[in-house]
């Protein structure tokens, strides 16, 4: 019985088939990893100290910064994030994300009109975080805040994902 030899055409077809398969696998692995990553990783939430209750004035909204929930060791100052904090009463606080729910631009607080404004596309939020006008699809993300032993603490979590 004679061994059949591959023709040059058959050999090249097999090489091309395997190269295309390898390239497809190489491209699809990162895509599937990025899609499955959030499902497989647990993000921890940590209470972060924002300062003493007496540091904040009732009725005032201020920008506060704190360490991210799960900072990378090499992140340095980029591991710091921020929130808008309002002292509602003596021991009651409200905190909102600084990111617009439209495309994630940082909103700013306009004290005179008591509105949050997004400079990117004109999104406007009332002081309670609900949408007043513009393209934002939903209210500002609200953080959990507590008073613990005279200190104001915020429950950190990853930066909210925005929607288009």
Q: Are residues 78 and 17 in the same domain?
A: no
- Strand bridging mode 142-143 / 131-133: unpaired
Measured distance CA(55)–CA(67) in Å, rounded? 19
Tell me the pLDDT tens digit for each residue of 10-59: 899 999 999 999 999 888 888 887 777 666 666 677 888 899 999 999 99
Tell me the pLDDT tens digit for each residue of 62-82: 999 887 766 667 777 777 788
CATH number at residue 101: 2.102.10.10
Measured distance CA(84)–CA(146) in Å, rounded? 14
Q: Are residues 136 and 61 in the same domain?
A: yes
Q: Could you give the residue ranges of the DSSP H alpha helices within the chain?
A: 8-40
Which residues span the domain enclosing 23? 1-41
Tell me the pLDDT tens digit for each residue of 119-134: 888 899 999 999 999 8
The Cβ of residue 5 has, within 10 Å, a number of other Cβ atoms equal to 8
- Strand bridging mode 145-148 / 142-143: unpaired
Q: Are residues 150 and 81 in the same domain?
A: yes
Measured distance CA(22)–CA(15) in Å, rounded? 11
Please give the average per-residue pLDDT across 92-104, as a whole number.
90
Q: Is residue 161 part of a domain?
A: no
Q: Could you tell me the pTM of the whole model?
A: 0.68
């Amino acid at each position: 019985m004679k061994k059949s030899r591959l023709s040059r055409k058959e050999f090249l077809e097999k090489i091309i088939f395997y190269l295309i398969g390898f390239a497809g696998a190489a491209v699809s692995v990162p895509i599937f990893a990025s899609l499955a990553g959030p499902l497989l990783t647990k993000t921890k939430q940590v209470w972060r100290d924002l300062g003493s209750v007496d540091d904040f004035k009732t009725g005032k909204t201020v920008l506060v910064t704190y360490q991210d929930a799960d900072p990378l060791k090499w992140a340095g100052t980029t591991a710091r994030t921020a929130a808008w904090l309002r002292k509602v009463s003596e021991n009651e606080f409200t905190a909102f994300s600084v990111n617009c729910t439209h495309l994630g631009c940082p909103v700013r607080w306009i004290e005179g009109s008591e509105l949050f404004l997004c400079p990117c596309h004109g999104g406007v939020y009332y002081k309670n975080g609900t949408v007043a006008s513009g393209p934002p699809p939903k209210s500002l993300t609200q953080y959990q805040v507590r008073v613990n032993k005279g200190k104001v603490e915020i429950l950190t979590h990853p930066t909210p994902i925005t929607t288009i």
